Amino acid sequence: MKYRSLKVMSLAVLLALSYSGCGGSSTSSNDPEVVPLKGVAIDGYLENAKVCLDLNLNRTCDSDEPSAYTDKDGKFIFMVKKSKVGSSPIIVEAIAGKTIDKDTAKTVANSFTLSAPKGQYVVTPITTLIQNELENNATISVKKAAANLSKKLNLTPKSEKLLTDYVANTQLHKLHELAKTVVELMVKIEGQIVTNLDINKTKETKKGLDYLVNNKIIENIPVLVKEIKDNNKTAKELHTEILGVANNVNVSKDELEKAIGKTSTIVKLLQGKTVYEEDGEYKGTIQSLTFSDDMKKIKCHDKDGSYTDTITKVTESVFTVIGDEKVEGSYKLVSYTDDYIELLVNYPGIKVTKRFYYDEAKAKAYYKIGTTTIKTLVGSLYGGDASKKNSIVTMTFF
C-alpha cells in the first residue's frame, strides 16, 4: 500500500487532539430503548455459566458486551438495545470449577464454549455445531445449516429439533446423549491440539481453535452417533470410544493458522469487499481498496493509479501485507460499524488510524469536512500555550 508520511492535518483534528483527555468511553444510539433477551444454556442445564451477545464475533464474552450468568435452571436474561436483538450469536462460557452441569450436579472439570446462531436463544453443543456450519458457509440460513448438520451426522430428529431444549423434551434423550458426547470431544480434542502444537489459548487463537475443533467433531463423530442411535449407548458408556476418536484426530500448525485466518473478525469484515477512504497525500481524492474472496490480495486505486498488494498473514484482528514496492506493513482492527471499519495502518514512517467506508458516497461525505478545512486554512497560525509563559505554537498548513 502506498502510504506516505502525512503532510497535512486539519485544525479540527489538531484541536481535537489538544482537548482530548483520559477517562471512560460512552456510547450513543438512535434507538436508546432496551429490551430483555432471554434464553437457556444446556449441556445438561448449566448453572453459573457466563452468557453474552457476541457483538464483535470473537467467541469470547468481552466486558463491553451485554452479558449475564445463568440461574439454577440454565436460564439467562440480560438487557440489549432493540437494534441488537438477533444481530449476533449467543456465547456461553462454561467455567471450570464454577459452572455446574445439572446432569452431574457437579462443577465442570474443564472450561468449554458453546454458541447459538443469531436469533436463537437455546444454546447447546448441537447449536454450536450448527453455528460452525454457518461459519463454513455464511450465505446459508440457520434452517439450512441445521439440515446440513443433520445429514452429515445421519441424525433421526427433524433438523428443527436440533435447535430446541432436548432436556425438556424426553423424546429427544438420544440428542441429549449426543450433546454430552460433543462436549467430551470438545474438551479432549482441544486439549490434544494445545498440547501437541504447544500453543496458548488467547483471544487471537481461540476462535480459530474452537472452529477447528468443532469441524473435527463433525468429521469424526458419526461413528459415535451410530452407537447412540442404533445401540442406545449413553455418553458414559461410550467414554472409551470417545477417547479413541479424540486420540485419532491430528492437526498441523498450518491447519490451525488457516482456521484462525478463516474465522478472524477482520476477514469477515473485509473479505470480497471494496472500501473507500481519503488518500492521505492527495486531499479530495477517494482511494478504494478491493479485497479478494480468498483474502490473499488487495487491489488498490488512488491518484497514482492501480496496483496490487499481497496479504502475507492474517490473525484475529491483524493482517500483514507486502506492496508492489516490496514495502511491508500491517492493518489492525480498531473498531467497526455497519458503515465503516477503522484500522490502525502501520507502515515504515507512518502509523495512523484510518476510517474505511463500505459506501463511496459516505466516504466522500465524511472526508469532505477535512478537505474544506484545509483549503480554508492554507498558511500559518500562531497561538500561545497558557501553561507556559512567552510560548508560541506554530501550525503551518501546506
Q: How far is residue 296's CA from residue 319's CA, in Å, rounded to a whole number?
A: 10
Please tell me the predicted confidence (pLDDT) of residue 25: 30
Number of Cβ within a 10 Å radius of residue 200: 8
Q: Give the integer Cα–Cα distance in Å for 27 and 301.
A: 34
Look at residue 331 in the predicted model and tell me its pLDDT. Answer: 92
Q: Report if pTM > 0.85.
A: no
CATH class of 267-397: mainly beta
For helices 173-197 and 239-247, give the axis angle rounded to 10 degrees: 40
In sequence order, which residues have a C-beta less than 8 Å from that of residue 351 and are 6 or more positions away? 344, 345
Joined together, the cell numbers standing for residue 149 give: 448438520
**Domain ranges across the chain:** 34-263, 267-397
The answer to whether 52 and 66 have CB atoms below 8 angstroms apart is yes
b/e string for 359-381 if b means 16 or more Cβ within 10 A? Answer: eeeebeebbeebbebbeebeeee
Residue 101 is predicted with a pLDDT of: 98
Query: Residue 55's pLDDT is what?
Result: 87
Render each residue's pLDDT in the chain as its tens digit; 398 residues: 555 433 333 333 333 333 233 323 333 444 568 899 999 999 999 999 999 999 888 889 999 899 999 999 999 999 999 888 988 999 999 999 999 999 999 999 999 999 999 999 999 999 999 999 998 887 899 999 999 999 999 997 778 899 999 999 999 999 999 999 999 999 999 999 999 998 888 877 888 899 999 999 999 999 999 999 999 999 999 999 999 999 999 999 889 888 888 788 888 889 889 999 987 777 778 899 999 988 889 998 887 788 899 999 888 788 999 987 788 999 998 888 889 999 999 988 889 899 999 999 999 888 874 444 444 444 444 445 545 445 444 444 44
